[in-house]
């Protein structure tokens, strides 16, 4: 197999995760890591098989794949640089920049850029995508709860590029875009609270599109939760409704009687290499193959517009 050249921008938790998975999925791989942190570079040189570079301007030759895991304020300039260099596939971690970025150059070359909303690759979401009939849906609820923020964050995580809506809510918003397939929307009843940080810690809002009412609730300062939890509830015209979390899909009739329950065990999802969850491996498999499930630039910018409408 021909060697694949890969550049990874940002070697924190997500950069390291993608590096480890890609090393198992691709037999012949040549990796370059770009990170501005001297400590990260020192550790990487000692522990990973990759070229380490702090100056992006030295990388003139196009890569087969660029993986961008930097803080979001660097997303757009890094994508633009990769596009101009001629990189074939560019993968950007969510939430894809900020609400006030200029995405015009990226939109012109959107066929080469994909956005990393990893929850699309959960087996439960795959099942919903295959089995839901959008015309049968009248209501969609999406929520995320955690107790992740217990003291005021430092640096960019206490600013406009962070907050529960950008960091976690964007995943749930993307699932609505992915499952319902809408482009236009109206926002109402938005409420934002800052409890611990100087940005949004609790966000609620309604969204209406194609005669479907969507309700969202994001809260990452909720002391009732020991670990992060996401939930979807999807109501159909006949009154039946689905309840979904990371491990199961349940279908109830209009009287609340359980009709069907499908769990992670039933999906029997397998991957050639497991790290943090099957969804992370499936995401990288899609990056290096058909790119059928990854969020497109158009879809990611719908999520961006929604967040701008809420926070702007």
Written as tens digits, the pLDDT of the chain (312 aa) is 678 999 999 999 999 999 999 999 999 999 999 998 888 888 888 888 899 998 888 999 999 999 999 999 999 999 999 999 999 999 999 999 998 999 999 999 999 999 999 999 999 999 999 999 999 999 999 999 999 999 999 999 999 999 999 999 999 999 999 999 999 999 999 999 999 999 999 999 999 998 999 999 999 999 999 999 999 999 999 999 999 999 999 999 999 999 999 998 898 778 988 888 999 999 999 999 999 999 999 999 999 999 999 997
- C-alpha closest to that of 273 among 263, 265, 283: 283
Give residue for tokens 């329950």: 261
Give the pLDDT of residue 93: 97
Q: How many CB atoms sit inside 10 A of residue 72's CB?
A: 22
Q: Can you list the pairs that 283-288 forms with residues at least 24 positions away whose Cβ atoms lie under 8 Å?
A: 283/116, 283/118, 283/120, 283/121, 284/18, 284/21, 284/22, 284/25, 285/25, 286/121, 287/65, 287/67, 287/89, 287/91, 287/114, 288/4, 288/22, 288/25, 288/26, 288/65
Instruction: Give the pLDDT confidence score for residue 301 in this predicted structure.
Output: 97
pLDDT at 242: 98
Q: Which positions ≥6 away from 239 have C-beta within 8 Å?
A: 253, 254
Please, what are the domains in the chain?
4-116 (3.40.50.720), 119-269 (3.30.360.10)
């Amino acid at each position: 197999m021909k060697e694949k050249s890969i550049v990874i921008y940002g070697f924190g938790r997500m950069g390291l995760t993608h590096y480890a998975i890609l090393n198992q999925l691709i037999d012949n791989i040549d990796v370059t890591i770009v990170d501005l942190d001297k400590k990260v570079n020192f550790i990487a040189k000692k522990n990973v098989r990759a070229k380490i570079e702090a100056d992006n301007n030295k990388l003139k030759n196009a890569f087969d794949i660029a993986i961008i895991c930097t803080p979001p304020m660097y997303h757009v300039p890094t994508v633009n640089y990769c596009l101009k260099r001629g990189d074939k596939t560019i993968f950007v971690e969510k939430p894809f920049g900020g609400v006030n970025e200029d995405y015009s150059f990226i939109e012109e070359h959107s066929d080469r850029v994909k956005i990393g909303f990893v929850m699309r690759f959960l087996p439960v979401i795959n099942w919903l995508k295959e089995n839901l009939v959008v015309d049968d849906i009248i209501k969609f609820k999406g929520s995320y709860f955690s107790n992740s923020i217990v003291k005021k964050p430092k640096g960019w995580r206490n600013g406009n590029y962070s907050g529960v809506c950008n960091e976690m809510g964007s995943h749930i918003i993307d699932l609505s875009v992915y499952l319902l397939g809408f482009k236009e929307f109206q926002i109402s009843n938005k409420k934002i609270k800052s409890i611990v940080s100087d940005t949004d810690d609790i966000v609620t809002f309604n969204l209406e599109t194609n005669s479907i009412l969507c309700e969202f609730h994001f809260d990452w300062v909720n002391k009732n939760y020991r670990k992060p939890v996401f939930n979807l509830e999807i109501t159909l015209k006949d009154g039946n409704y689905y309840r979904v979390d990371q491990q199961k899909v349940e279908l109830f009739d209009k009287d609340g009687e359980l009709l069907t329950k499908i769990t992670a065990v039933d999906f029997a999802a397998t991957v050639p290499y497991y790290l943090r969850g099957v969804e992370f491996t499936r995401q990288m498999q899609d990056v290096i193959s058909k790119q059928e499930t990854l969020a497109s630039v158009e879809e990611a910018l719908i999520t961006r517009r929604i967040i701008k409408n809420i926070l702007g």
